Amino acid sequence: MGDYWSDAENMVQPGKIKVPYTWQAGEMASHYFTRLRDEKKILGKHCPKCDKVLAPPRKNCPFCTVPTDEWVELSGQGTVDTFTVVRKGNAIQPMKAPFVYALIRLDGADTGFLHMLGEVDPEAVKEGMRVEAVFAEERIGSPRDIAYFKPIG
């Protein structure tokens, strides 16, 4: 290097992107979240073509695009399919490390449900563990109306 341009002091400038977003849930997810919020019910939706229950529900089946039909009320209990113990946390996570993220197969559903585990020793979590939803005190109609899933028994 070593020329007029390359020799200048290095200027790195911080810049923020702070565009605010408002995402519409749409009719389907609004129904799902209002039932979750008001009645502490987790609903799935059934695809008539694949004969699968999708939880969280979708308006169209992600596999075949056919509109889903029946709402299916789930018990809120399920089985841990896979999990991770977060050891190094970051600012966007709702819990402080160490804590557990899990994919949970809800009873009666054919898809995995993404959430966190609570009231559990991270060391004791295993695939196949039975868990149930613990609902947040304050519910606003969001995935976090479920505070976390805790082991049953």
Partner 1 sequence: MDRVAIVGIGQTKIEASKERQNYPEMVYEAVKLALEDAGVGMDEVDNVVTTSNDFWDGRTISCMPVGGVSGAFDKNISGVEGDGTFGAFYATCRTLSGSYGSTLVTAHGKGSESRSIAPMITNAAFDPVLARSLGLDMTTACALQARKYMQRYGITEEECAQVSVKNHGNALDNPNAQSPMKITVEDVMKSEKIAEPLKALDVSPISDGACCLILANEERAKKFRTKPVWLKGVSFCADAFQLGDRDLSECKPLEQAAAKAYRMAGITDPRKEIDVAEICDAFTYQELMWTEGLGFCKKGEGGKLVTSGATAKDGDIPVNPSGGLLSGHVAIAAGMYRMIEAVRQIRGEAGGMQVKEGVKTALAHGVNGLCGQSHCVWILGSE
Partner 2 sequence: MGKRAAIIGTGQTYCKSIRRDVNGQELINEAVTRALQDAELTIDDIDGVVIGNMDHFEGINYVDCWSIDGSGGYMKPTMKLCTGGTTGTTLGIGGYHMVASGMFDKLLVIGWEKNSESDTTGAIVTATDPILDRGVMAGALAGLAIEASEYAAAYGATSKDAARVSVRDRKHACNNPYAHLRKEVTIEEVLSSPVISDPLRLLDMCPRTDGACAVIYANEDVAEKLCPQPAWVVGTSNRHCYSRFADIKGQTGMLSLTTAAKELWAKTGVKEPLKEIDVMEMYQPYSWGGLIWFEDMGFCKKGEGPKYIWDGVTDMGGECPVNPSGGVISTNPIGATGLIRCAEIAGQIMGKAGDRQVPDVELALATGFGGCFWSDMILYSKNKPA
Partner 3 sequence: MSADNEQEVELLAVHSRTDVEQVFHYSAGRYLNRFLTEMRDNAKIVGVKCPKCGIVYAPPKEICDPCYAEMTEPVEVGPEGTIRNFTILRAPFVDPETGQAKPVPYAFGNVELDGAGSLIQNYLLTDDDSKIKVGARVKIEFHEKRTGNMRDIKGFRLLD
The binding site for partner 2 (CB under 8 A) comprises 11, 13, 15, 17, 19-29, 58-60, 62-65
Query: Which SS3 state, helix, strand or coil, does residue 104 take?
Result: strand
Query: Which SS3 state, helix, strand or coil, does residue 38 take?
Result: helix
> With the C-alpha atoms ordered 96, 149, 52, 35, is the resulting torsion angle positive or negative?
negative
Length of the chain: 153
Pick the piece of the chain touching partner 3 (CB under 8 A) from 2-10, 60-68, 70-78, 79-87.
2-10
Q: Which two tokens stand for residue 120?
A: 């559990």
112-117 and 130-135: which strand pairing?
unpaired
Work out whether 67 is an interface residue with partner 1 (CB under 8 A): no
By beta-carbon proximity to partner 3, the closer residue of 20 and 153 is 20
What are the residues binding partner 3 (CB under 8 A)?
A: 3-27, 29-31, 33-34, 91-92, 140-142
Residue numbers at the binding site for partner 1 (CB under 8 A): 6, 10, 12, 15, 17, 21, 23-26, 29, 54-56, 62-63, 81-88, 90-94, 101-103, 111-116, 127, 142-144
